[in-house]
Amino acid sequence: MPLETPIPSVADRAAELNRRYRHHGATSVLERALSDPLVGRIALVSSFGAESVVLLHLVSVMDRTTPVIFIDTQMLFAETLVYQMELAERLGLTDVRRITPAPRDIAMTDPDGTLNQRNKDACCDLRKTVPLQHALHGFDAWITGRKRFQSGTRAALEFFEPEGDARIKINPLAHWAPEDVREYMTENRLPRHPLVAKGYPSIGCAPCTSPVKDGEDPRAGRWRGEEKTECGIHFVDGKMVRQPVSEGQTQ
């Protein structure tokens, strides 16, 4: 769908969308985002991780032809790859795009697959951030499953964020609590990632993901023992992309 022209900048578009939908719920935000001309061409980016099934199911109900971008870093758990194929088929998603790092980049930068042991940021950039940016070329916006409760760096998350001057990032589930996620899965009888039952509430690449103990932050198993908290796909020019909540705004 072509973009509306009166509001040209990404930041202005995001601000206007937040104004339009600040009192809406997650389902309404996603449904409107898929059809609002101000959003433009849109894709869902999914890791097919622990909570991904919620957004994937919502999209399958609203418009199963929505492009779904799945970044296969080639270091994912085998369970994630099987889950991805089974879930896409079960939900009837018709445009799942499995993206992998460029073989030439892997050969030049990480030929033996040990970059994650030396430089985790560089590994994420090589295997996830760069492939995603290539995959998002031609899209005006992308949907994420990020939520405020997941970590302190996401506490001020809004529904719509400007990603630099490139595109808008949409977070329909930003205000959901853990119980909202669980209830949605239960009510819709959605299959869970098999690793969740083994103590993995947040699932990334196998070398950098470990089980989480009771009482720990759900993302404590991601890059355990490191200062790193994000893979990098939510950064622009090395900085977290986050739009502050406007004074007096409620959502």
Catalytic residues: 231
At position 177, the amino acid (one-letter code) is A
Q: CA 14, 227, 202, 84 torsion: positive or negative?
A: positive
d(CA 176, CA 29): 13
d(CA 131, CA 110): 15
d(CA 99, CA 119): 22
End-to-end CA distance of the chain: 27
Q: Which two tokens stand for residue 39?
A: 């959003």
| SS3 labels along 100-144 | CCCHHHHHHHCCCCCHHHHCHHHHHHHHHHHHHHHHCCCCCEEEC
Q: In terms of Cα–Cα distance, which of 35, 65, 33 is closest to 160?
A: 33
The DSSP 8-state label assigned to residue 76 in this structure reads B
Q: How many residues does the chain have?
A: 251
Sort strands 160-163 and 167-170 into parallel, antiparallel or unpaired. antiparallel
Q: In terms of Cα–Cα distance, which of 148, 141, 144 is closest to 164?
A: 141
